[in-house]
Amino acid sequence: MATTTVAEEPPGVPRRILPAIALAQLAGGSLWFATNGVMDELQRDWGLADSALGTLTAAVQLGFVAGTLVFALLTIADRFSPRRVFLACALAGAAINAASLAIPERLAPLVAIRFATGFFLAGIYPVGMKIASGWYRRGLGAALGVLVGALVLGTALPHGLRALGSSWAWPTVVLAVSAIAAAGGLLMHAAVPDGPFLGRSARMNPRALALIWRDPALRAPAFGYFGHMWELYAFWALVPLIVASRLSGPALSLAAFVTIAVGFIGCVGGGVLVRRFGGARVACAQLATSGLCCLAAPWLLDAGPAVFAAWMLVWGITVVGDSPQFSALSADAAPRELVGSVLTIINCIGFALTAILIPVFAEAVASWSLERVLPFLAIGPLAGLAAMRRLLR
């Protein structure tokens, strides 16, 4: 995706387009953590082990990887109108998410449901970006920064719904997420026609994989992104457990929502700073800050309420704010004819990495204390910063 900058409305683009795409992306993205928002109740009612958190979150990540590869190899968003693909995937994802209420109360069927949900998220997140690129040739970076932020808000939304509906049974929260995701698909289809700059995607080129490893200019942001992904989804999955050391009930859900949702500030604010400091410096500053938040966990978990809250907010802002910049730097370094393939492969490797690491960290937290586990999240940021040294020079 392109570098985020201060928003600039290209001439001729209706004012409703960007808000509509962002709202649709937010709504569709709510499917990502639909189960995480009610995990306590699921574990209680279904008798799931503590490790189920990592298993179910990893299933969504693997489904997303599989879906992204299938959609790219078959060029689905080229064969059909992207907004119709978005609609179909939002409706399918909503239906599958709702189907979790009708399956046997065991982990294996729920894992399958979450994998399928992740598969259809591949027709929401990347396709939403393609829809935006059809409208924004100038100012595309700003538009994509807003959309990444919207996805962050959508990821946090199930926790927000749990906080708002503290008296709801957990199936009601799941159904509410499905209804919101379906509404997002309908909004995209009704309010956002195909844009005038919508182009065809290049077919997946396996040469891009070798290029990521061979070209130092491309390897730096790619490995920076991998380090970022080592931390990001593991942190998001563990946020409720971290907050549970202080809060419970609706207050816990609200705090988890805010901690994840403030990442919107990091995405959009980082885009504003790029014009002055450059994408590499902005990405590294956020990556370094979130890495320090990991390392400081043994001291700040027991800090006073104000310090603890500030720590979580800073971590929530910086843990995801570097994501658009890594994508932009990778796109800038890749040959024009391979940009689509390069970004697809980098994203797939990054999400596959999260699918491996999330269960590891969830199991570690179940066996050890948070003070011992959270500093290991810093391995990713430290490795990413080492990879990015070339660009900073």
Q: What is the pLDDT of residues 298-346, one digit of tens each?
A: 999 999 999 999 999 999 999 999 998 898 888 888 887 788 788 889 9
Do residues 61 and 131 touch, judged by C-beta distance below 8 A?
Answer: no
- Residue 34 has phi, psi (to 5 degrees) of -60, -40
Q: Which of 86, 121, 100, 96 is nearest to 46 (CA)?
A: 100
**What is the rounded average pLDDT of the residues 273-281?**
87
- Does residue 225 sit in the same domain as residue 334? yes
CATH number at residue 84: 1.20.1250.20
Based on the structure, what is the number of domains in the chain?
Answer: 2
- Has residue 2 got a pLDDT over 60? no
- Does residue 229 sit in the same domain as residue 209? yes
Question: Of all residues in the chain, what percent carry a pLDDT higher than 90?
Answer: 71
Give me the pLDDT at residue 11, please. 57
- Has residue 291 got a pLDDT over 70? yes
Q: Which of 28, 270, 18 is nearest to 143 (CA)?
A: 18
Would residue 9 count as lying in a domain? no
- Does residue 177 sit in the same domain as residue 218? no
Do residues 254 and 345 touch, judged by C-beta distance below 8 A?
Answer: no
pTM for this one?
A: 0.92
- Does residue 209 sit in the same domain as residue 189? no
Would residue 331 count as lying in a domain? yes
- Does residue 189 sit in the same domain as residue 210? no
Listed residues 195, 225, 248: the one ending a domain:
195
| Ranges of H-type helices in 74-206 | 76-79, 82-99, 107-121, 125-133, 140-164, 170-191
Q: Which domain holds residue 181?
A: 15-195
CA distances to 61, 186, 279, 286 from 296, rounded to whole Å, are 27, 44, 26, 15
Do residues 162 and 35 touch, judged by C-beta distance below 8 A?
Answer: no
Centroid of chain to Cα 310 = 22
**What is the rounded average pLDDT of the residues 361-375?**
94
- Does residue 185 sit in the same domain as residue 217? no
- Does residue 187 sit in the same domain as residue 210? no
Would residue 4 count as lying in a domain? no
